Amino acid sequence: MKNIVVVGSQWGDEGKGKIVDWLSEQADIVIRFQGGHNAGHTLVIDGVTYKLRLLPSGIVRKNKISIIGNGVVIDPWALLEEIKEIKSKGVNVDVKNLIISESANLILPFHREMDEIREDTAGKGKIGTTRRGIGPAYEDKVGRRSIRVMDLRSEKNLDQRLESVLLHHNAIRKGLGKKIFEKDQLKKDLLKIAPEILKFSNPVWLKIDQFKKQKKKILFEGAQGVLLDVDHGTYPFVTSSNTVASSAATGTGCGPNSINYVLGITKAYTTRVGEGPFPTELKDNIGELLGTRGKEFGTVTSRKRRCGWFDGVLVRQSIKISGIDGIALTKLDVLDELDEIKMAVQYDLNGKKIDYLPASVEDQLKIKPIYKTFPGWKTSTNGIKNINELPENAKNYIYAIENFVGTKISSISTSPEREDTILIENPFEI
């Protein structure tokens, strides 16, 4: 038995969908453990494109069990719409292949509205959220006033829970001059969809324990990236959950000894969506070229991603914080046309050289990257499946990344197609 956690080692959007899809074919169970429908994983299978937001990537494969863990916040209407959409493409979704944690917290309409209100009034201090209510839902979770999946079982209990959460939200809304949110209609709307959600509901921790005893292979699927972690990322320009590998345990209900291998998905350059520090960002023609060739637009929001050189300092830091055992290097082919390629190997902070990202956002915005420059290869790597067939300069760049970040590269992606992958090490077979 081998259980694997997949995380992004940068700011998300590293190409996890393709890698998770490849791994999910070998896994028995695929579990989402944090985030919400702000995450977007794109899968291309037999020419059909699937854009998943809440559903784990295993859902598109037969004979796999997909689980949404307690660490995920769920917009129930968005989930039902996603299930409807995926079914329209011929994918079966039922109680045999989808499980939802009864302890998962719900995103409700007032969470989405609060997200929008805050972003619209924040001015220069805006975070750049997806405006889907993720942050406010997590706030209610830690504030112990949230509505959970299990609360949909009882109208009396749901009424009491809504009373509690709306007491908090309506006080804020009133202070902001916004309309008070009415409980009765929301309760009615929730009770209407409750049976459709509850039929998937289970104690996920118990299910995982059973699967472990049955020697099932489990794939834990993370969303976003380590640099968006609420504790370890570029705070406050982060997501509202823990995106590091260790949250796979708390976000599902199993011990850390359930994790055997951590795979960090790593783009061959760097991108970021939304606001916040980005030391290696390129606001020039090269940045535009990376964005165009890499088709750097968000899966969920279609927002244009900021692009820059590979930041070795940040990836090395993510590897240490998240306990990454190997990295899957993606989008190498995007660099094919460049004359030279740069990698940040140090930072300059007020004239002092440092080899880590400081915790203070003020310092993060001041640091200037110190680069090591590599000659480009100026030839196509698209579709190459054997490392020996790569141009020498491409191999030199790859080995330089591996040596600098201190973790082996387990695979290299040379196009969006699943088959176009150079496999060096299969995490399930180590």
Nearest to 226 by CA among 179, 282, 267, 268: 267
End-to-end CA distance of the chain: 11
How many other β-carbons are positioned within 10 Å of the β-carbon of residue 267?
Answer: 28
How far lies 377's CA from each of 288, 333, 394, in Å?
19, 10, 6
Alpha carbons 219 and 59: distance in angstroms, whole number: 12
Alpha carbons 364 and 361: distance in angstroms, whole number: 5
Is position 41 annotated as part of the catalytic site? yes
3-state SS assignment for residue 26: coil
Reply yes or no: is the peptide bond before residue 375 cis, omega within 30 of 0: no
- CA dihedral 97→100→102→108, nearest 10 degrees, is -150
Is position 13 annotated as part of the catalytic site? yes
Alpha carbons 276 and 294: distance in angstroms, whole number: 21
Alpha carbons 326 and 430: distance in angstroms, whole number: 11
Q: Among 13, 115, 151, 333, which one carries the catalytic annotation?
A: 13
Exposed, middle or buried, 257 (CB in 10 Å: 0-12/13-18/19+)?
A: exposed
Alpha carbons 325 and 411: distance in angstroms, whole number: 12
Alpha carbons 113 and 130: distance in angstroms, whole number: 12
Residue found under tokens 């082919």:
333
Nearest to 194 by CA among 237, 249, 142, 153: 153
Alpha carbons 370 and 352: distance in angstroms, whole number: 11
Type and span of the H or E element at 213 = helix 204-213
Q: Among 37, 41, 111, 232, which one carries the catalytic annotation?
A: 41
Which tokens hold the place of 175? Answer: 């202070």
Active-site positions read 13, 41
